[in-house]
Structure 1
Amino acid sequence: MSNFNYPLSALAIAISAVFTISSQSVRAEQTVEKEEPNSKLEVIAITGSRIMRRDEAEGSPIQSFDRDQLDIKGALSIGEFLQELPSVGASLNDNGSAGTSHGTASINLRNLGENRSLILVNGNRWVNGAGSRGFRDFVDLNTIPFAIIDQIEVLQDGATAIYGADAIAGVVNIHTIKNYDGAQVKAYYGISGENDRETRNFDLLLGHDFNDHNLMFSASYSNQEPVYTQDRSLTAVPLNGLPLGSSEGLFRESKLEGLFDFSVPSIGITRDPGSDGNSLNSWRAASSNDRFNRYHDNYVVGPNERLSLFGQATFQLPDTQVFEGTSIRFELLHNIRKSDQQFSAAVPVITGSRGFVIANDSRVNPFGIEFSGSDFGLRNFFTDNGLRVNEQKVETTRVGVGLEGFLPLGWQWDAFASWAENKGTFTSKNQLHLDKLALGMRACNSSGIVADISDLSSGCVPVNLFNPLTSAMVNYINFTGIDENKTEQQHFRFNLTNAIAELPAGDVLLAIGAEYRKENGVDIPDNIINAKPRVNQYRTTSSSPRTGTVGEYDLYEAYIELNIPLLENSAFGEALELNLASRLSDYSTFGSTTNSKVGILYRPITDFMLRATWSEGFRAPSLLELYEGERAAFAPVIDPCDINKGLPGCSSVPANYRQQDSNVPILVGGNKLLEPETSENISTGFVYTPAGLDGFSVTTDWYRIKIDNTISAFGPQNLLDLCAFNGRNCNVISRTANGELLNIVDGPVNLNSTEVSGVDTVVRYTFISDFGEWDLSSSVSKLNALEEVSSLADGSRLSVNKKGSSGVRESYPEFKGSVSAQWAYDNWSAAYSLRYIGDTNEIYLNAPRHIGSMFYHNLSTGYKSDSGLGWRMGINNLFDKQPPISLVNVNINFDQQTYNAVGRFLYFQLTYDF
């Protein structure tokens, strides 16, 4: 067990001094007449602080978005909305089949990764995602119903001392609708300019007050259809080239020489479409022109279907001598998400070295020769056994109970307890059972096979891969795998807040609290996929085997937060406040850690406010990072040794080697030796609100976040480049004798450090004129640096500044921004928004390649009648912009976690309140 303690002398002295003052103040308060209950209720909660305040002074940079702003965007999920914020980096979304999303939506604040951005709902933790090949170590935003959201606050500052781990990059606090009285139905329909991505959504919201009590129910259904690669010119054909092969197959074997009146080339023989493979006259010499687009009928944007049910009951409890204004709230949520990815039919790579045999039987072999015991190769792009489809079904269940109220002497308290579970099923359809295929290629002859294969031989069908597959063959060799995984969270917290002392500048405010959290996860892979092969020597199925994952941890936490007013209406300024916070966390996996925060808010004049914060951050390795079982997968890469055999790390690669497929095998898994991450967050900024221009404000904040012991993976492409160009870390790369990439081992390690810095500026102006109400705003984020310093296997250090760069599913432009204008007059409204993504450079074959900037324009207008009927229609991506071309994002041709290839999208929304 490790012990992480930081110097806290300054904070300890300040807290001690305040409590010395407060001991006298509390005794004095006992003689003061008790405040009226109404005055106690005039307090607000601000994200980034547990202290309940009577003003809205914000010592940390926060962006807030209400429900009207969400609806104007035409979004149907939290992810769609948040991922367009300038301060958010590349995030998981519905784009692509070959990505890692599997229907998940995430948020990546400050480009520091999904698991360093904390997601809260009403200030409470949310359960991590599931439904992938293994569970997640971050919140899946698609498990939070969009229909129940009232407001979203984004804290762009470290908040470990306030909320605990995972808040290194910032916090997203989602506020749900409360105490709703009425009824609302909403219908939404949208479609792209290419007549795809058809989207339907229906919401129902019911609420009723019963004296001081309230009941609320919400139901929502959303269904979004896919976009196919061939329906966008950008993605129709991979720019890195089509893989060698055909649906008729490429067959290479030295024994074929002499069977034909032509010389058999090294890549083998093939036949023309529609020809009879049982006739030797149909076969011809294959060439480098025999290519197959295996990415046809893949998704550019995947489908997503969600059903959400949410119930909430709030009851006001009778007052007692001790408890006043106490209310209890019950929450119950059930959310179902379905998504899928579609791929080409399974591609069996059949070689003698993998234990495959093609019997000398006319039912399976037209050549009259048995092929066995040699390195023959048969590569087919099937079109007969159906496209592979990976389906996810994720069910989220959450039960929560909250209590809040007042105690004597003005103390306000609240408590919340929840249990939540994400249960995912991952179904892999139309995979191949390679043992059945191997037995069928042997014409169902089991001679020489030692293992018991009675389950395989029953119903065996001879399989001829030199002609189209029959339905009987398909039914025999096709396989459906089912994986199951689950994440579970138990959470309890208690907060107590009050003014504990009175200083000349105002009240000293205190918040203290305790929290308990338990996280566990389990991943159960399909037992057939993981079974040892009995007929071939490669795998039992075409799905990637992996070992399961089981892990859990719990932690106990306590925190204290103080807000100390130092000046008010003095000669030195209008106001000066000091905010102090510290949190002690005790992990079952890593021991204890203490993390603190200091904030200063200074208002020299009424119109101008300065703010600064310093904070420590902490993130323990997640269950996946620690315990994830080894998993075989594929990753798209460009092999530098394919182009230049003279590179330092390519000396063992044969001169005639050519990369045949951009998708190469990788092996990833957890690392139980990981240590926690620690961070230091510093931010400074100002808020300018001129009294002479009511409704106008400018906020600018500079930030720097430095993470030590960063948990990260190099990535397959980086590992290949490091080996090829620098001769480093080549030990994790395996190749066959002919140079083919056999495996790349990549997994989480504690890299040395990561540092990100930048500036955020938000300008907003709201005013009323003779022509209506206006809300104008602009937000710009500038990335000053994103530097990663890594220790390599040879002991050297590698420093990379990613600012202005882009890579595989990641982009780091120096500038990102947005502009919006909203107008309302009587019953009419309209809105315009602009999104800007700055230019970057990607490294393609060790040389920079420029990617230009992008502008997206959105328009909408609406009308709300006095009878409660309203409509809104809009166009997103007005000028039908497609993502910029990327050559390192092979096969899909663009960075699918930064850009969207839907193009122009039109939507219409109808709402009725009654």
Structure 2
Amino acid sequence: MTRGLHRMPVLNLRALRAGTAYAALLAGALATPALAQTATAPAAQAADAVEEIIVVGSRIQRRDADGVGVVTTITEQDLKNSGAGSVGELLQKLPSAGVSLSTNGTQGTSYGASSINLRYLGGAEGSGNRVLVLVDGHRWVDGVGQRGFRDFVDLNTMPLGMIEGIEVLKDGASAIYGSDAIAGVVNIKTARDFDGVKLTAKYGATTHGDGQSYSTMANFGKRFDKSAILVSASYVKDKPILTTSRDLTRVTLVPVTAPGTSPNGLYILPGLSNNAYFGTPTGFATSASPVAFTAGATIGSGALADNAYRTASLPADYYNTQAQGIYSTGPSERWGVYARWTTDLSDSVRFKAEGLFNQRKSDQLFSPVLLDIGGSAGTIRGFSIANNQPFNPFGTANGVPTANALAFAANSAWRIRKVMTEVGNRDNVQDVKTWRIAGGFDGELNLFGREWSWDVYGLYSKNKIDTQALNGVNYDRLALGLGPNCATTAGCVPINLFSPMTAAQAEYIRFTARESNQTEIYDFTANITGELFQLPAGPLAIAAGVEHRKNKASDSPDPFVNALPTNIPTPASGSAFASNTTTTAQTRIATVGQYSLNEIYAEAAIPLLKDVPLAKTLDISLAARYSDYDTVGGDSTVKVGVGWRPIEDILVRGTYAQGFRAPSILELFQGGRQTSFQGTDPCNGGASANPSLPGCTGVPTGYNQVNFNLNGLIPGTISGNTKLKAETADTYSAGVAIKPRFAPGLSLTVDWYEITVRDAISSQSATQILNLCAQRAGVFCDLVSRDASTGAITNLLQGVLNLAEIKTSGVDTTLRYDFSNDLGKFAAVVDASYLESFKTTSPNPAGGAPIVDERAGKGDQPRSTYPHWKGQASFSWTGGSWNALWRGRYIGSTTDVVNAVKDAKTKAIFYNDLEGGYQFERYDTAISVGISNIFDKAPPASYANAPINYDIYTYDARGRYGYVRVSAKF
């Protein structure tokens, strides 16, 4: 087995410095990580007893599915009634789900992917990397992304038609399934074999006239004498919702206190202040009083050039980037085919072969590039504009005498900020293809005089993404077009940044970054299960198995993006005012990594008592697993469960499980990459406004983060860490399940859980890093770089470390009642989760007591909403051919950032859905009409999530949504 790290040649010096500098910082310089986020779903139900079944959370076949683990089952009918257009949308509505990637909006890092994050325990940005996602009990390939591969399963790689049901185990299962199962397990169950054709079509749209969604599924099945074939084809298309289409998202909640970047530009041009030739006043075009171009004006020649410019001010120079075609929910198109063939090779041996192809196309539209360049000022430095540049209004080309002409040199503190509307809206485009082939044998054999079941299974799967980042700016060409060498360079187009550009100029500097990355998985498993011998209370059943797995990933950034510029001074040239950046695209070190492992496990179900006083039954389940990784070595985990029925109506259950998660390829090997963080800078207002924050020393008075970059987004670098070790966990759960015989159809479950993750692999949020720097200064500020003259953050370094401990606890409860009368069949479900605590404890780099961050009940960080209460309920009726359903969903209140615009609270919200349908006898045709969010509730406003003003991974801005669904069977 090969230990997995190969890195391609490093071309971008800044990215390299950022990626390696992190390892040189003190491990304790990072404190509490920003974790997780939220979602929502239909009424699910607890698993009922079924004949001879394997329920997720156990490999043992048994007749009693009322196991000691907390399992939620989502049926095929639940899938149909949910109104959801994807597996992720359905799972994210579960009360136990935390912040999960969704909506494909411009804000966030979904890039068209969808994840499930149970118990809020996934990594930052709702990645779900502590949830194990299986398909029919087997692993699925990791996801890919716009800016590098992922370390969690992208649920949008699964064609919807292949799915017949879902099981969710909400406690640790590493001893049974291995790494990644710390927060729980989601098992996707594929469609069963059948004869005939099943067709489903659905159309939906919001009452705002957008967000249209189309989906079709066609399943064909045929059973033969000893074999069966199933083919499923799915197609889903979702159209976008713009931020301008909803009141909440139209304008950022953060007040604009100074003129920001606009198409009219903000110009700081040394030499114009108190210039006698141009007749400008003192302070004109200085950093304190930048000037803007007057839209529609004509630049006068010679001394009249300055007349086209005026001191920028509000509201005249207010510009709303949110109104520039930005997606609140982006478009996505997915189609996929799944096929399975099974055959009986003998009376006791069967063979199965499976194949899948899925393709997703998605994109996110952003406002045009917010250019910020200059000589010794600006975000990207080292540019120069000669006094004879063709479009320099203060130069000789505009009739200014040589003695009076102004040049703007690379060592001069000039600066131009401008929204590049002529270049067009930036657009990130993804094309994701997923392949999967798998097959295996299963059967029965006789051992020790008893029947045993066995299976062997192998799979290979690959995820590959090709991305484009359209309408960026080529800084190298821009520098050439502004500089003195343009006239002597073939094909060069002189650039005008002082007034609107021509189409030819925009085309010359327009840049499209093209990149790709991929993930692969090879997996082989073998299992056996059966009854070893008979005990007085029943048979002792066991399961055992082995697994070998290899995961691989590679990332191929655009080589030109990572190359050093040739027309801008670089550090290699020794220039004090230099740039490593060739384009507006974010740099990233190309990376290839892999790891391999071998595992062995055993599980036992032991009946201790049966039909004795105070013990209708008493059962124990035991499991143990040993995992050996070529990256972090070996470790073992165990799980113990107890189920006690004092009487038939009551099951008292409890589990203890050890968890184990090896660091992913992404966490280990990811090269330094540029990114933009959403967060709040505590140094807003400058040092004078924050005298109690030592880390704000030197920040100029009046500094406001929102005036820099895109709506105040923070430029930064993310890096992997090859020194990581595996994280471990302890999960405790205890609960009761009640099914009273005097009330058939009534059931109540209440389960408490506590999960502690040690050596947790995580990173701080941008806000946490900034707060530590502001409050403590010193080593805490080593991760934050600022421009000394403006206070603007130029780079924030975020990496992964084994960050001490995460501890969460809470209670899940489900009440269900099914009954019938003369009016028909009724089913009522109430499902709720209470998050008691979500606490991260990290070492204090300054010494002293550890740093503790309690997140439960808070929503004061971007895309990190942790309400104490979440719940859903449903009430359904079926009478003859008619049916109706009501669904309700509740997300509790949380805190918000303290601010002057609204109260420091994000309000609770309750959604209501209705659906009705009719079943025709002919072809089992069913027609359903539904309305989701019937009262058109907008997400609660959140200052922490400006500029989009709501947590896109917890709520959606779709509003009232109507749909029609038709299905038939032939």
TM (norm. structure 1) is: 0.92
CA distance in 2, matches of 1:137, 1:752: 21
CA distance in 2, matches of 1:441, 1:488: 45
Secondary structure of the residue that 1:719 maps to in structure 2? helix
Partner in structure 1 of residue 694 of structure 2 = 648
Partner in structure 2 of residue 803 of structure 1 = 856
* 1:248 to partner: Cα distance: 1.6
Distance 1:466 1:53, change over 3 A: same
CA contact (8 A) 1:131 1:425 kept: no
* 1:506 to partner: Cα distance: 0.5
Q: Which amino acid aligns with 2:855?
A: K
* 1:848 to partner: Cα distance: 8.1
Structure 1 residues 455-470: aligned runs within 5 Å:
457-470=489-502
* 1:888 to partner: Cα distance: 1.2
Q: Which amino acid aligns with 2:893?
A: D
Is 1:515 the counterpart of 2:570? The answer is no
Is 1:428 the counterpart of 2:469? The answer is yes
Partner in structure 1 of residue 254 of structure 2 = 240
* 1:443 to partner: Cα distance: 5.5
* 1:239 to partner: Cα distance: 1.1
Q: Which amino acid aligns with 2:422?
A: D
1:337 to 356, 360, 365: 360
CA contact (8 A) 1:637 1:890 kept: no
Is 1:822 the counterpart of 2:848? The answer is no
Partner in structure 2 of residue 80 of structure 1 = 89
Indicate the larger mover: 787-796 or 60-69: 787-796
Partner in structure 2 of residue 635 of structure 1 = 677
CA distance in 2, matches of 1:422, 1:555: 20
* 1:362 to partner: Cα distance: 5.7
Structure 1 residues 369-448: aligned runs within 5 Å:
369-372=406-409, 373-408=411-446, 409-442=450-483, 444-445=485-486
2:787 to 721, 733, 736: 736
* 1:376 to partner: Cα distance: 0.1
Is 1:54 the counterpart of 2:82? The answer is no
Q: Which amino acid aligns with 1:834?
A: G
1:664 to 714, 726, 736: 714
CA contact (8 A) 1:119 1:125 kept: yes
* 1:291 to partner: Cα distance: 2.5
1:275 to 297, 303, 309: 297
CA distance in 1, matches of 2:969, 2:919: 10
Distance 1:284 1:856, change over 3 A: same
Distance 1:278 1:809, change over 3 A: farther
Partner in structure 2 of residue 287 of structure 1 = 313
CA contact (8 A) 1:757 1:784 kept: yes
Q: CA RMSD in A?
A: 1.7
* 1:261 to partner: Cα distance: 3.9
Secondary structure of the residue that 2:553 maps to in structure 1? strand
Q: Which amino acid aligns with 1:721?
A: N
CA distance in 1, matches of 2:366, 2:289: 25
Q: 1:385-439 deviations in whole A, cap 9, x for unaligned?
A: 1100001111000001032110123011012110000001121001111100110
CA distance in 1, matches of 2:873, 2:865: 21
CA distance in 2, matches of 1:497, 1:87: 31
CA distance in 2, matches of 1:840, 1:47: 33
Partner in structure 2 of residue 677 of structure 1 = 727
Is 1:203 the counterpart of 2:203? The answer is no
* 1:176 to partner: Cα distance: 0.5
Q: 1:756-782 deviations in whole A, cap 9, x for unaligned?
A: 000000011112211111111110101
CA contact (8 A) 2:389 2:484 kept: no
Partner in structure 2 of residue 225 of structure 1 = 239
2:910 to 826, 830, 855: 855
* 1:78 to partner: Cα distance: 0.5
CA distance in 2, matches of 1:149, 1:445: 59
Indicate the larger mover: 346-355 or 686-695: 346-355
Q: 1:650-700 deviations in whole A, cap 9, x for unaligned?
A: 122233433323112111110111111000000000110001111111011
Partner in structure 2 of residue 16 of structure 1 = none
CA distance in 1, matches of 2:486, 2:835: 64
Q: Which amino acid aligns with 1:648?
A: P
- Unaligned runs of at least 5 residues, structure 2: 2-49, 123-127, 396-405, 569-577
Indicate the larger mover: 284-293 or 814-823: 284-293
Q: Which amino acid aligns with 2:58?
A: S
Structure 1 residues 680-829: aligned runs within 5 Å:
680-727=730-777, 729-738=780-789, 739-796=791-848, 797-806=850-859, 807-829=861-883
CA contact (8 A) 1:250 1:267 kept: no
Partner in structure 1 of residue 114 of structure 2 = 105
CA distance in 1, matches of 2:878, 2:517: 48
Is 1:358 the counterpart of 2:404? The answer is no
Q: Which amino acid aligns with 1:361?
A: N
* 1:57 to partner: Cα distance: 2.4
Distance 1:444 1:531, change over 3 A: same
Secondary structure of the residue that 2:194 maps to in structure 1? coil
Q: 1:307-335 deviations in whole A, cap 9, x for unaligned?
A: 1111111111123xxxx1x2111110000
CA distance in 2, matches of 1:131, 1:873: 35
* 1:572 to partner: Cα distance: 3.4
Structure 1 residues 127-142: aligned runs within 5 Å:
127-142=141-156
* 1:99 to partner: Cα distance: 0.8
CA distance in 1, matches of 2:119, 2:142: 20
CA distance in 1, matches of 2:291, 2:905: 41
CA distance in 1, matches of 2:513, 2:481: 20
1:311 to 335, 339, 350: 339
Secondary structure of the residue that 2:896 maps to in structure 1? strand
Q: Which amino acid aligns with 1:294?
A: T
Q: Which amino acid aligns with 1:422?
A: N
Partner in structure 2 of residue 21 of structure 1 = none
Secondary structure of the residue that 2:839 maps to in structure 1? strand
Q: Percent identity?
A: 40
Partner in structure 1 of residue 401 of structure 2 = none
1:215 to 229, 237, 243: 229
Q: 1:627-658 deviations in whole A, cap 9, x for unaligned?
A: 00101111122222113331221122233433
Secondary structure of the residue that 1:782 maps to in structure 2? strand
CA distance in 2, matches of 1:438, 1:465: 11
Paired residue total: 861
CA contact (8 A) 2:520 2:553 kept: yes
Partner in structure 2 of residue 912 of structure 1 = 968
Structure 1 residues 166-205: aligned runs within 5 Å:
166-205=180-219
Q: 1:708-733 deviations in whole A, cap 9, x for unaligned?
A: 00111111111111221343611211
* 1:288 to partner: Cα distance: 4.7
* 1:56 to partner: Cα distance: 1.8
Higher relative contact order (CA 8 A, sep 6+): 2
* 1:95 to partner: Cα distance: 4.6
Q: 1:357-390 deviations in whole A, cap 9, x for unaligned?
A: 1122362211112211301000111211110000
CA contact (8 A) 1:841 1:848 kept: no
CA distance in 1, matches of 2:699, 2:341: 67
CA contact (8 A) 2:896 2:904 kept: yes
Indicate the larger mover: 722-731 or 803-812: 722-731
* 1:274 to partner: Cα distance: 1.6
